[in-house]
Amino acid sequence: MKFTRRGFLMSAAVGVAASLRSAPAAAQTGRMLLKGGCVLSLDPKVGDFDTADVLIEKGLIAAVRPNITAEAQVIDAANMVVMPGFVDTHRHMWQGAVRNSLPNGLLNDYVRDILGSVRGVIRPEDVHIGDLVSALGAINAGVTTVLDWSHIGNTPAHTDAAIQGLRESGIRGVYAFGGGTGGPQNKYPDDIRRLRKQYFSSNEQLLTLAMASGMTAAEWAVARDVGASISVHAGGTLAGLEKVLGPDVTYIHCNTFTEQAWKMVADSGGHVSISCPIEMEMGHGIPPIQPALDHKLAPSLSVDVETQMPGDLFTQMRAVFTLQRMQALARQRANDKAAPALLTVRDVLGFATINGASANHLDRKIGTLTPGKEADIILLRSDAINVAPMNNAYSAVVQAMDTSNVDTVIIAGQIRKRQGQLVGVDLTRLRQQAQASRDYIVQRAGWSSSRLGR
C-alpha cells in the first residue's frame, strides 16, 4: 500500500516569512541569527552564556557567542532559553492514535491490550497517522530527535507507513525496524535490507536506520550486516550475548540487570535508555538511574509509550531528578558511606540532550550547540508566568517548564514551530484523521467507544 503526501505535511517555508525579521540579502546567505537569548550550548568548550547569539548557516551552527553581526534572518531570542533540542531514545510511535488509552495499566495489561488487541487489528494507515501525530507532538514539546521503536512490522506496508509518517512530520528520526504480529507477510528481520536500500541509502539524512531487536545474536547480525545500530529491551544477565555486545547497542529499561550485565554493557561501550515514569507506573522495576551512573554509563531518557505517559521530556527529567535524589538522600541518612552524589539539574539536562544524541549514535551531528553540528535548536520562553522571573536557566528548564514554554523549534536549520505554533500543519485535518483512526481501532479491538475510559 502506498501513501501520498497529505495536506498536513510539514513545510518549513509555510508561515516562516511572517515570523522572521529579515535583513537585506538574508535569503541569499541562507543564514538565521538567534539574537540575545540565554544560551545553554551544553558544550564545555563553547560555554553557556547569560546573553549571547547563535548563528545558523546552511542548516549548521556557525557560531555561538555574544554580539554576532551578520546578514541573516533574525529571531529575537530575548526572554528565551536557547539550547539543543531534546532527544528521545525510545518511543513506540505507531500507537499515536491510542494515546492515554491505558492510564492505569500494568505491563501485562499493555501486552494484552496494545500488543495483543491493537497490534492485531491496526492498518497501515493507522500506523501512518500514529507516527505522524506522535512525531508532531514531540516537535511541539521541543523534542527534535526521536528513536521510533517500531514493533509494528506486521507487513511491509505497515513498515513503509511508519517511515512515511516520520518523513512528513519533519522530525529528525531514528527508525528502528521491529517485528509485529506473525504471519507470512511479516518480513522481520530480513526486510531491513530493503529498507536500507529504499529509504536509508545515506546516513547523512534526517532519518537514519536502526533495528528494534530482540535479545538474539542472529537478529543483531542482520542489523550489523546493513550497518544499522541496535536498540533492545533488555534485562537479566545478557547470557548468550557476551561475544556480540558492542558500542552500536542501546539497552532499554535495564531494570533487572545483574551486576555482571552492567559490567558487560559498560565494558562493551554500550548505551542505556531509561523511561523513568513508565517503569515506575507499569511495574518494570526501579528505574536504574544509579546503577547506570555507578558503571559510568551516561543514561539517556525516553518516553516509551504515550498510551499512559505524556510525550515530552520535561516529565522525564523531573522524574529522574527527583527519584535519584530521593534514593541518594535515603542512603545518606542511613549513614551509607558509599551513598552517591546527588544529581543536579545540569546533569539531567545533559541526559535529555547530550546523552540522548550519543545513545542514538548521532552525537557527531546533534546534542550540543557546537559550531559545525546541525542546527537542532529550541527556544523556550523564560518570561512565561510559570517561570518568570528566571533565576537559574537550568532549573527553569528541568523544574519549572513544560510544553507551553516551547516557543520555537528548529531542526536541521528548518523552523518547525514558531511563536508557539507548529509551522505548516493543518491541525484540523490532522485531528480528524487521528480521530477516525482511533474510532476504527477501538471498534475493531472491541473497546468501549466512550471518552470516559474503559
pLDDT of residue 394 exceeding 80, the answer is yes
In whole angstroms, give the CA distance from residue 143 to residue 348. Answer: 15
- pLDDT at residue 21 tops 60: no
Task: Indicate the domain borders of the chain.
Answer: 16-84+367-421, 86-359
Poorest-pLDDT segment among 24-33, 132-141, 236-245, 311-320: 24-33
Res 336 pLDDT > 90: yes
Say if residue 6's pLDDT is above 60: no
Report CA torsion sign: 369, 370, 371, 375: negative
Nearest Cα neighbor of 159 from 170, 145, 149 is 149
| pLDDT(222) > 60 | yes
User: What pLDDT score does 449 carry?
Assistant: 87
Residue 112 φ/ψ, nearest 5 degrees: -70, -50
Phi-psi region of 219 (alpha: psi -120 to 50; beta: other; left: phi over 0): alpha
CATH number listed for the domain at residues 86-359: 3.20.20.140
Cβ density class 242-254: b for 16+ within 10 Å, e for less: eebbeebbbbbbb
Contacts of 90 (CB under 8 A, 6+ apart): 147, 149, 231, 250, 252, 273, 275, 302, 303, 304
Give CA–CA dist 123/128, Å, rounded.
9
Q: Grid coordinates representing 115?
A: 500488543
Q: What is the pLDDT of residue 411?
A: 98
C-alpha cell at 32: 538565521
Classify residue 304 by its DSSP letter. B
pLDDT higher than 50, residue 438: yes
**How does pLDDT run across 153-189, given as a tens digit for each residue?**
999 999 999 999 999 999 999 999 999 998 889 999 9
* pLDDT value for 182: 86
Within 10 angstroms of residue 148's Cβ, the number of other Cβ atoms is 30
Q: What is the overall mean pLDDT for the chain?
A: 93
Q: 0.75 exceeded by the pTM? A: yes
Gyration radius of the chain over CA positions: 21
Which residues are 298's β-sheet partners?
none
Q: Tell me how far apart the alpha carbons of residues 345 and 324 are, in angstroms, rounded to a whole number.
A: 12
Would you say 379 and 419 are in contact if contact means Cβ atoms under 8 Å apart? no
Query: Using CA atoms, how far apart are residues 38 and 40, in angstroms rounded to an integer?
Result: 7
pLDDT of residue 30: 79
In sequence order, which residues have a C-beta less than 8 Å from that of residue 190 and are 6 or more positions away? Answer: 222
126 CB burial (10 A radius; 0-12, 13-18, 19+): buried
124-140 vs 427-445: helix axis angle to the nearest 10? 130
Q: What is the pLDDT of residue 453?
A: 82
Of 245 and 3, more confident: 245
The CB density around residue 233, as the number of other CB atoms within 10 Å, is 18
Distance of alpha carbon 9 from alpha carbon 7, whole angstroms:
6
Provide the residue count of the chain: 454
In this predicted structure, the answer to whether residue 11 has a pLDDT above a threshold of 50 is no
Neighbours of 371 (CB within 10 A): 17
Q: How much is the pLDDT for 183?
A: 86
Q: Which three cell numbers stand for residue 320?
A: 529522574
- The phi-psi region of residue 268 (left if phi > 0; otherwise alpha if psi is between -120 and 50; otherwise beta) is alpha
Looking at residue 29, what is its pLDDT?
53
Per-residue pLDDT of 45-64, as tens digits, reads 999 999 999 999 999 999 99
User: What is each CA distance from 42 to 88, 207, 353, 397, in whole angstroms?
Assistant: 17, 24, 9, 13
Grid-cell match 542514538, residue found: 360
Task: Tell me the CATH number for domain 16-84+367-421.
Answer: 2.30.40.10
- The span from the CA of 436 to the CA of 362, in Å, is 35
- For residue 16, the model assigns a pLDDT of 30
**Would you state the pLDDT for residue 209?**
98
The pLDDT > 70 percentage for the chain reads: 93
Look at 264 and 21; give whichever has higher pLDDT: 264
Strands 229-234 and 406-411, by their bridges, are unpaired
Neighbours of 385 (CB within 10 A): 7
Residue of 265, 94, 299 lying closest to 176 (CA atoms): 94
